[in-house]
Structure 1
Amino acid sequence: MSELQYFVAAVQFLTRLPVPMPGVTVDEDPQKILRRLQHAVVYFPLVGGLIGLATAAMLLAAVGAGFPPWIAALLALGGEAWLTGAFHEDALADSCDALGGGWTREQVLEIMRDSRLGTYGVVGLTIGIGLRAAALATILTQPPAWVLAAVVCSAASGRLAILALMVTTAPTVGREAKTGDVAGRQPIGRGVAAAAFSAALWLPFWFFEPAIMTGSLLVTGVFLWEFRRRILRRVGGTTGDLLGCVAFVVQGIVLLGATLR
């Protein structure tokens, strides 16, 4: 397998873009597909940053077309949700429902498998999207270069947080989800490689505002430590939904930090 195939696999997994896989036949061995996806996670932050680039472009284009900041922010988030298939939004809602409504490990996992949306999921999703929209509308008062740096960094950081949790935490046993296999434990080398491959997408934020970036990293670290502690106690490890939830929350943390400039 080539690095290009790993990158394309990451694009296919994280977005709805119909990108063909080079050198692959339709009847490929499912185990080979799974191994490719497990290696493709190293490109998640890079693909995430590119998604953020698209979101920032839609945001700035909407403002340039004359829309007020709040409407521009919601249009950009709507475009991003279409691009990703609301992948992480769904994970956030499922995780809120499961961790908020499940009393036992079995209940938590069962609720995650349920496609229906409950009260905790609605509240979590409303607050999450509302905060992101508010943050985007707020940073539009800054120069376009800062808007671009902040949105791209937040998107890359959210996917990098997925790798951080994969490196430090094994998946929970007994889960019944395809993403659970993709979300297996990763070696630390892949986490380091993921940060290196996506560095050009999050370093500009650090260049503009090192204090804000450092503060965002500290808050992210505290959140990841506490989230990991709680999910280990509740379900014994990670799931695809929990990883997606982490991506959404960390993306929001970085965006909220950007509003402090």
Structure 2
Amino acid sequence: MMPGVETIRNVVADLRLAASFVTILPVASSKPAGDGAIARATWALPVAGLLVGLAGALVYKVAIHVGLTPNLAALLALATTTLITGALHEDGLADTADGLGGGRTRERKLEIMRDSRIGTYGVCALIMSFGLRWSALAAIANPWAVTLALCAAHTAARAGVPAFMSLVPPARPDGLSASAGAPPGRSVAIAFGVGTLVLALTLGPAKALVGLILLALAGLLLARLAIRQIGGQTGDILGAFEQTSEILILLVAASFLSGR
């Protein structure tokens, strides 16, 4: 088989694996998920995020076209992205809030995070997440600007995940994060490059820089909190990182794109 053909097949397999990892779309890759395959495919996470953002943007545009208000259209767009991802990241955010906020010891915090039941901290975190994202999209209002904002948010929010996985050790030897493994430097660099490029194209270089600074600060704060309280990161922590990043980029977008 020609090297170029094999490279294309690997890229497609990584894209399918990344999409199946963070969405409920029936695109499971034939590439084995073991032996570090998930870690290597993390470069494609922002690409999968871009597709999620485009789906939400399409629903928003259709909702506005049929006469719905920006508030209702924004809610439908959020419902779409949540449905496509199977609320994976929202679940991680809620579990992280419950575990870090409700447990007294490291063991108890990890136990709470594995509990499928949701607590007060988790409910409050989800209300804040949906409220801030909904308000940001409704404030932007213009369908084209909302498209740019959703693409920027969903791409950039996942672009930092490989770096977070690489720099912050797993909190426990089992679980989703530990089984995925640490992404190689190449995957981290590509994901960061894709996220930065999409941010610059959608929000402009200056706003993209603001967004990157905020994402870096959020990542550092969450990493410090996770290491101090539970000894590292878990799949839930990664979900919380994605949600925090998504919120920050939408707020940056709302600051610059509102009313356009």
SS in 1 for 2:33: helix
TM-score (norm 1): 0.89
SS in 2 for 1:54: helix
Structure 2 matches for 1:117-132, cutoff 5 A? 117-132=118-133
Q: Is the 8 A contact 1:98 1:111 kept in 2?
A: yes
SS in 1 for 2:231: coil
Q: Is the 8 A contact 1:49 1:198 kept in 2?
A: no
Q: Answer yes or no: is 1:6 the counterpart of 2:14.
A: yes
Letter in 1 for 2:16: V
CA distance 1:165–1:106, shift in 2 (3 Å): same
Distance 2:254 2:149 in 1: 9
SS in 2 for 1:259: helix
> What RMSD in Å do the two structures reach over aligned CA positions?
1.7
Distance 1:146 1:164 in 2: 28
Q: Answer yes or no: is 1:113 the counterpart of 2:114.
A: yes
CA distance 1:213–1:202, shift in 2 (3 Å): closer
Structure 2 matches for 1:161-180, cutoff 5 A? 161-174=160-173, 176-180=174-178
Q: Counterpart of 1:231?
A: 226
Q: Answer yes or no: is 1:202 the counterpart of 2:199.
A: yes
Letter in 2 for 1:105: R
Cα deviation for residue 19 of structure 1 reads 1.8
Letter in 2 for 1:180: A
Distance 1:253 1:49 in 2: 16
TM-score (norm 2): 0.89
Structure 2 matches for 1:1-261, cutoff 5 A? 2-22=10-30, 32-34=32-34, 35-140=36-141, 142=142, 144-174=143-173, 176-182=174-180, 184-198=181-195, 201-207=198-204, 210-261=205-256
- Determine what percentage of the aligned residue pairs are the same residue: 35
With 129-138 and 217-226 compared, the bigger mean Cα shift is at 217-226
5+ residue gaps, structure 1: 25-31
5+ residue gaps, structure 2: 1-8
Cα deviation for residue 89 of structure 1 reads 0.6
Q: Can you list the C-alpha shifts for 1:146-176, whole angstroms capped at 9, x where unaligned? A: 22221101101110121221122121234x4
Letter in 1 for 2:33: I
With 4-13 and 164-173 compared, the bigger mean Cα shift is at 164-173
With 112-121 and 37-46 compared, the bigger mean Cα shift is at 37-46
Cα deviation for residue 223 of structure 1 reads 1.4
Q: Is the 8 A contact 1:98 1:112 kept in 2?
A: yes
Letter in 2 for 1:177: G
Cα deviation for residue 179 of structure 1 reads 4.2
Q: Is the 8 A contact 1:112 1:241 kept in 2?
A: yes
Distance 1:219 1:36 in 2: 30
Letter in 2 for 1:122: V
